[in-house]
Amino acid sequence: MTGMDEGKDEGKAAPAGLTLETAGRLCRAALHEASRLGALVSVAVVDAGGHLVAFARMDGAEIAGPTLATDKAFTAVAHRTTTGALGELAVPGGELAGLHANGGGRYVVFGGGVPLWSDDRVAGGVGVSGGSVAQDVACAEAAAALWGTP
């Protein structure tokens, strides 16, 4: 079962849409992981169109975090992959070299953005910024695991 479909019939697929309630739970999952890791982060959850649904910023988190977290989530949705995977492709000479300079500078090509899958389509994305790249990735993955994205 995917997509936070608790309380529904176990045999039915999760709804493709991302609700405000679900997005809030995803934010809280990422914040919980950040607390566990000792990181101060911002978390953004966007829908399938890349539009912000929920956002949270821990007290003391960096000032760049709100923009980067939102853009990481947007990038994960727009490219249907993690922002970390895009980083490997966006290096000079890579298949997607220069990607970070496109999309009005909104594409982020380092870890912390994860798409949220519902069956075979992207239903949204989560982005985390403020910790180390490894911490941001772990927090985003904690949210994605709650959603059901592997």
pLDDT tens digits in sequence order for the chain, 150 residues long: 344 444 333 333 334 579 999 999 999 999 999 999 999 999 999 999 999 999 999 999 999 999 999 999 999 999 999 999 999 899 999 999 989 888 888 999 999 999 999 989 999 999 999 999 999 999 999 999 999 865
Helices 133-147 and 20-37: crossing angle in degrees, nearest 10, is 140
**CATH class label, 20-147:** alpha beta
State the Cα angle at 84 between 79 and 87, rounded to 5°. 80
- CB environment 18-30: b (16+ within 10 A), e (fewer): beeebbebbbbbb
Per-residue confidence (pLDDT) for residue 17, from 0 to 100 = 75
- CB environment 41-75: b (16+ within 10 A), e (fewer): bbbbbbbbebeebbbbbbeebeeebbebbbbbbbb
> By the 8 A CB rule, do 33 and 56 touch?
no
pTM: 0.86
Name the residue ranges covered by the structural domains of the chain.
20-147
> By the 8 A CB rule, do 71 and 103 touch?
no
The tokens of 124 are what? 């949204």
